[in-house]
Amino acid sequence: MTATATRSANIALFSLWALFWVATTIVALQEASRNEYIRWWEPLLWEGSSALLGTLWLLLQRRIGLNYAQYLDRPRLWFLHHLKWLPLFAPVFVVSIYGIRNVVYGLVGRVYHHDSWTFIWVYETVKLLLFLSLWLGVIFGFDSFAQWRSQRERLLNVQKALAESQLQQLQSQLRPHFLFNALNTISSLMHVDLARADRLLARLGDLLRLSLQVTRRDLTSLREELRMLELYAQIMQERFVDRVSVSWDIAADTADAAVPALLLQPLLENAFRHGVERSASAAAISIASRREDGQLVLTIVNTGTLDSAQQGNGIGLRNCRERLRVHYGADASLELREDGGQVIARVRLPYREYTP
């Protein structure tokens, strides 16, 4: 359990504890007020002594009993480990409260009348067992809840770390296949158009450099993200010269928006892979961004149909969704659908300005 979760569980538990003893004392006082033989301070002493020993037990439980937190997912073991102390605690408890009461009665010059010791031993032990069981139930509830909360917190952290490592994986996915084909295109262009080959080589260099920088931060500006997409698209266009046209429609007021780095990269790769590489006819891809009701809307459209492989099960898409969820929870979405011979991938996320 984390420290904060334990602390908030403790505060709630001790508040409930105090409330319980105030209530029992008030009840005892009320009962005593109807009995003329009982003085006003007597119920205070009886309840007070029990409360004192009970609180000592609770403090011990919070100290030592926390070792038993490991058994929280096995309730029976957890209760057994606590109750095994009863044979030791019960005599201490009975001797202590009766001792305190006898001393106080003696100090005011009176005698504490009570039942026979045999009866008291049995009666107090049974009462204590019931009382402790009840409170152990309450404590169990609090601790389980605190543990659940801290586990969830940890899970979220793990997921975040996972998303970051996925980002690295994504980056390494600026895939060998892409790289080798791009190199082959350059190797071909070299013989006919040295300047163009040179330009393509420089772009490939830029793309690699940018993708190496990007892992150092998880968020980037849309401007930067689009620059990568543009480089990628330019290289792909050189490879598929006659087969694809790419168009951009970027609203000027979206350039400074913060977006998870490389979020759109797998979507554009998908558009090329499914819309261009697997299609023998000419294809078109368009990339657009706009603001809409405080949201940033990013759209990548490719001609073609949504085949089962693209149906949102690919690693790239899953990755995108996961990263959106980690960053924005339920406030962001990624939808993929087919409409009139086009496959539309649309990301919506809260618009925030990017601050480096």
Partner 1 sequence: MIRALIVDDEAPARDKLRRALGEHRDITIVGEAGNGLQAAEAIETLRPDVVWLDIQMPGLTGLEVAAQLEPQDAPLIVFVTAFDEHAVAAFDLNAVDYLLKPYDDERLLRSLTRVRERQGTAARSPAIRIARHQTGVSDRLLVPQGERLQLIDSVAIHWLEADDNYVHVHTAAQHYLLRRTLQDLLAQLGEQRFVRIHKSAAVNVAEIQSLTPLFKGDYELQLRSGHSLRLSRRYRDPLFARMGR
Contact residues toward partner 1 (CB under 8 A) are 175-177, 180-181, 183-189, 191-192, 238-243, 277-280
Rounded to whole angstroms, the Cα distance separating 21 from 23 reads 5
Give yes or no for a contact between 209 and 228, defined as CB atoms under 8 angstroms apart.
Answer: no
Instruction: Look up residue 308 and give its DSSP letter.
Output: G
In 3-state terms, what secondary structure has residue 243?
coil
On whether the CB atoms of residues 265 and 228 are closer than 8 A, the answer is: yes
- Those residues with Cβ within 8 angstroms of residue 228's Cβ, 6 or more apart along the chain or in another chain: 207, 210, 211, 214, 262, 265
* φ and ψ of 159, to 5 deg: -65, -35
CB of 259 or CB of 285, closer to partner 1: 285
- Closer to partner 1 by CB, 175 or 337: give it: 175
Closest distance of CB 301 from partner 1, Å:
19
Q: How far is the CB of 339 from partner 1 (least distance, A)?
A: 22
Cβ proximity to partner 1: between 203 and 327 the closer is 203
| Residue type (1 letter), 329 | G
When the beta carbons of 201 and 255 are compared against partner 1, the nearer one is: 201
* Nearest distance, CB of residue 325 and partner 1, angstroms: 31
Q: Shortest approach of partner 1 to residue 156 CB, angstroms?
A: 36
Task: Please report how close the Cβ of residue 300 comes to partner 1 at its closest, in angstroms.
Answer: 19
* Beta strand ranges found along the chain (DSSP E): 219-221, 244-250, 258-260, 283-292, 295-303, 333-339, 342-350
Nearer to partner 1, 53 or 244 (CB): 244
Among 20, 19, 38, residue whose Cα is nearest residue 29: 38
Smallest distance, partner 1 to C-beta of residue 61, A: 59
Compare residues 38 and 190 and give the one whose CB is closer to partner 1: 190
